[in-house]
Amino acid sequence: MTKNDGAARLEKAIEILQKIRLSKENSSVMIIAGLSSCFRRLGVWHNLASAGALNDFNFKINGFSGKKLQSQYARASSVWTAGQTAAILSLLSSADIDIRSGGNRIEDILLQKLLYEICVKKGALSAVYVAEPF
């Protein structure tokens, strides 16, 4: 993975966010709920992987029956570790509370900050410095 993968993910995520925000279905709470659902499922994927249980039976009972879905979660698991996934779920929960209590004035800023913390910081808060190897 190159150093710019996080920046490329962020750019694409913000582009998608802008398209969603321009549509009728642009509720920040629903966006966060969708992201939370995806990252909870990624947590399940990590649990299966750590138990050595990535097989057709476990895929089916855990909702990963399609090959495309399996491929997506396999790629996602190579981007975010189990710990990062848990941290991202915490960020999503915190952002949900902030947006519900802050009103519409700062929604876009909070959503973009959230995407930065997911795509680039991989679950770390923006204020936390994470040294990257060269």
The rounded mean pLDDT for the chain is 90
**Rounded to 5 degrees, what angle do the CA atoms 72, 1, 50 make?**
55
Query: What local confidence, expressed as pLDDT, does residue 92 receive?
Result: 97
More confident residue, 125 or 76: 76
Lowest-confidence range among 39-48, 72-81, 90-99, 104-113?
Answer: 104-113
Residue type, 72: Q
Q: Two tokens at 118?
A: 């997911």
Share of the chain above pLDDT 90, in %: 72
Residue 109, judged by CB atoms within 10 A of its CB (0-12, 13-18, 19+), counts as exposed
Would you call 133 helix, strand, or coil by DSSP?
A: coil
